Amino acid sequence: MDLKVLDHLIMNPEGFYSFGDEGLM
């Protein structure tokens, strides 16, 4: 797993899992 992605998910301001910022959608 990518820790950077996990950190992004945890720090997501929307409050839900969003990959749009990383383009991993």
**pLDDT tens digits for 11-23?**
666 666 555 555 5
> For residues 4 and 22, which has the higher predicted lDDT (pLDDT)?
4
pLDDT for the residue 25: 46
Residue of 4 and 1 predicted with greater confidence: 4
pLDDT at 4: 74
Rg (CA), the chain: 8
Q: Give the pLDDT of residue 2.
A: 72
pLDDT: which is higher, 20 or 6: 6
Buried b (16+ CB within 10 A) or exposed e, 1-25: eeeeeeebeeeeeeeeeeeeeeeee
